[in-house]
């Protein structure tokens, strides 16, 4: 990507050039993000923070600071937003309209906003919160302020709220606030299956239902169940084919799929770790945008390498019955993801057929006819590769479940009287209202985000940002076990890259493990060290799980010395040597 050389090089200059810009869009490496967010807030600017890997302690501190200043911090890890009709970061082109969204800011907002577009409605403001806003430590600060703002926005007729699984106490406080709204509200908490609506407060199960409810309310209609004809192909599965394998680039889509599969099959599975939203009894739903898959590689909306390998592996498993995928269109994503995936899909289907099995691949496309990737062209490419393309992620999951003999039963929800609330909708300050008419931005980081703003009627000042000296800064050089507590609970080695077992490591890394075991005195010779590692007695953990860094094939045993870094205001990082 060509770099703009005419942009401001310092904060002082960018604040001078962008003095009329009320919002700063930050997309720099997460280790540097917290102090830059604070700097923008101190300058009186709202912040949309695309950067991830910001500690939850920093997030709580910075969101409280923003609230006290009458500002909004969207994010960190805020993937999608719409401000005054202008798409931010990984957003789609949709028509403007009278539905306002506040939500976990990635494919959840994209799926709902694009479905609203397909139904004839529109969205002018979609306020992203980041995925952790409804955690107890953060207390829904951005979501609550965003709801209050949309409740007092005269152009909004219906409010939509989208959340990943929340902390119960935060969920309850959010529901009390929503009951105080002066407009109809549709809310979806991923992971919940509500049994009823309240008057003026409608609770959805899926993202598709959320969009339908919002459009019905906008049109003055009584909300009804989604009417749909599922494109379930006539497929005869072989004996033993029973499992759904789902590989998503969108985290909220993955949560939705996992919830529906879990509920329909009665798996009683808890959310997994390392991107595995569901991993039980052979059923697998992965969020390939999770940090564990994006460390050192592009996001799966840009790079399909990991997904293609996983689809290939799933196709070779004789118990795989259906493969589920998404194709997310919009700014920041691959120019032709369907074309990138199609050859692998064809091969997976052909190889399965050669082994006497039919293997349906089911997909949803998150996008609109206005998106630059050409929705119709993406659909055609996937269908020509043999994919069953559905209108929504919920429909795709329903098709997958129907194929394995477990169709989803639709529940018609009654509308009950709204519960009483003691909460009063707070009055929002004038500084917050500026977000409703924003058209001037400061872009700190990914230059394509500025281009998207410029192409949609906004103006973006590109900050030619570089890390400044002193952040992060070195605290000390210490033995690893003195600053990484995980080393003090048994035999542990840290390694670079994603989770891996000893038997899957390449020879040089296995050799490093053996050397580390000898260095720590856990074994007397190489044969004993190998036997110890093969037994599983030594735990192997990625460096990034403990906020550490490990290069290439290097290993980090507990007594090795490491550089101990600190980033303002509270986050720490460790680089072992």
Spatial CB neighbours of 168, under 8 Å, sequence gap ≥ 6: none
pLDDT classification of 472: cutoffs 50, 70, 90: low
Nearest to 311 by CA among 357, 367, 384, 361: 361
Mean pLDDT of the chain: 90
Q: Look up tokens 């407060």; give the residue.
A: 201
| Both structure tokens of 559 | 């007594």
Domains in the chain, CATH or no CATH each: 11-224+421-463 (3.40.50.261), 243-403 (3.40.50.261), 473-576 (1.10.10.660)
* Percent of the chain predicted with pLDDT > 90: 74
Task: Indicate left, alpha or beta for 470 from its phi (over 0: left) and psi (-120 to 50: alpha).
Answer: left
pLDDT classification of 122: cutoffs 50, 70, 90: very high
Distance CA 408, CA 397 (A): 9
pLDDT tens, residue by residue, 343-379: 999 999 999 999 999 999 999 999 999 999 999 999 9
What DSSP designation does 98 have? Answer: B
What b/e sequence results for 420-443 when a residue is b if at least 16 CB atoms lie within 10 Å of its CB, and e otherwise? Answer: eeeeebeebeeebebbbebbebbb
Q: Which residue has the higher pLDDT, 31 or 83?
A: 83
CB-facing half-sphere around the CA of 166: CA atoms within 13 A? 26
Q: Look up tokens 């479905």; give the residue.
A: 115
Helices (H), 219-336: 251-265, 291-294, 305-316
Query: How many other C-beta atoms can be found within 10 angstroms of the C-beta atom of residue 313?
Result: 12
Contact yes or no for 58/36 (Cβ under 8 A): no
Query: Is the pTM value of this prediction over 0.75?
Result: yes
Spatial CB neighbours of 275, under 8 Å, sequence gap ≥ 6: 286, 287, 288, 289, 290, 292, 293
Strands (E), 446-560: 459-463, 473-479, 492-495, 539-542, 548-549, 555-556
pLDDT tens, residue by residue, 379-433: 999 999 999 999 999 999 999 999 999 999 877 899 999 999 999 999 999 999 9
pLDDT tens, residue by residue, 483-511: 888 899 899 999 988 888 999 999 989 99
Query: How many other C-beta atoms can be found within 10 angstroms of the C-beta atom of residue 516?
Result: 24
pLDDT classification of 3: cutoffs 50, 70, 90: very low
């Amino acid at each position: 990507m060509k770099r703009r050389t005419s942009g401001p090089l310092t904060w002082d200059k960018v604040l001078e050039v962008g003095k009329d810009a009320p919002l700063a869009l930050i997309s720099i490496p997460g280790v540097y993000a917290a102090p830059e967010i604070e700097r923008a807030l101190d300058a009186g600017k709202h912040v949309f923070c695309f950067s991830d890997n910001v500690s939850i302690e920093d997030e709580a501190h910075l969101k409280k600071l923003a609230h006290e200043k009458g500002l909004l911090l969207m994010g960190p890890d805020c993937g999608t937003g719409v401000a005054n009709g202008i798409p931010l970061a990984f957003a789609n082109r949709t028509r403007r309209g009278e539905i306002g969204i506040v939500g976990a800011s990635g494919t959840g907002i994209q799926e709902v906003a694009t479905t609203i577009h397909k139904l004839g409605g529109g969205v002018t403001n979609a306020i992203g919160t980041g995925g952790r806003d409804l955690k107890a430590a953060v207390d829904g600060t951005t979501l609550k302020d965003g709801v209050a703002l949309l409740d007092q926005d005269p152009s909004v007729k219906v409010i939509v709220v989208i959340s990943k699984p929340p902390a119960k106490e935060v969920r309850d406080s959010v529901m009390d606030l929503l009951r105080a709204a002066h407009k109809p509200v549709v809310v979806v908490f991923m992971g919940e299956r509500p049994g009823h609506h309240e008057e003026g407060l409608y609770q959805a199960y899926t993202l598709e239902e959320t969009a339908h409810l919002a459009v019905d309310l906008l049109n003055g209609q009584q909300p009804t169940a989604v009417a749909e004809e599922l494109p379930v192909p006539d497929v005869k599965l072989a004996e033993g084919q029973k499992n759904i394998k789902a590989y998503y680039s969108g985290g909220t889509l993955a949560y939705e799929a996992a919830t529906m599969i879990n509920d329909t099959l009665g798996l009683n599975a808890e959310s997994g770790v390392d991107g595995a939203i569901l991993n039980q009894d052979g059923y697998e739903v992965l969020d390939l945008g999770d940090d564990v898959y994006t460390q050192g590689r592009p996001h799966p909306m840009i790079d399909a390498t990991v997904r293609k390998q996983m689809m290939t592996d799933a196709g070779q498993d004789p118990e795989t019955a259906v493969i589920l995928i998404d194709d997310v269109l919009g700014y920041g994503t691959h120019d032709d993801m369907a074309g990138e995936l199609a050859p692998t899909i064809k091969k997976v289907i052909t190889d399965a057929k050669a082994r006497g099995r039919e293997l349906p691949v089911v997909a949803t496309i998150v996008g609109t006819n206005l998106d630059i990737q050409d929705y119709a062209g993406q659909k055609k490419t996937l269908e020509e590769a043999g994919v069953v393309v559905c209108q929504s992620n919920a429909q795709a999951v329903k098709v997958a479940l129907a194929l394995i003999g477990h169709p989803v039963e639709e529940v018609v929800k009654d509308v009950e009287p709204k519960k009483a609330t003691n909460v009063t909708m707070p009055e929002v300050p004038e500084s917050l209202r500026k977000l409703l008419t924003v058209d001037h931005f400061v872009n700190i980081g990914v230059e394509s985000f500025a281009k998207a703003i410029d192409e949609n009627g906004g103006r973006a000042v590109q900050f030619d940002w570089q890390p400044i000296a002193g952040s992060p800064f070195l605290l000390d050089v210490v033995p690893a076990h003195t600053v990484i507590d995980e080393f003090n609970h048994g035999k542990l080695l840290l390694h670079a890259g994603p989770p891996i077992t000893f038997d899957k490591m390449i020879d040089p890394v296995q050799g490093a493990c053996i050397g580390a075991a000898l260095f720590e005195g856990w074994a007397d010779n190489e044969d004993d060290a190998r036997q110890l590692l093969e037994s599983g007695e030594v735990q192997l953990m990625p460096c990034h799980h403990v906020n550490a860094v490990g290069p290439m094939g290097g290993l980090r045993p507990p007594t090795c010395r490491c550089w101990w870094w600190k980033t303002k205001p509270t986050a720490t990082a460790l680089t072992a040597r």
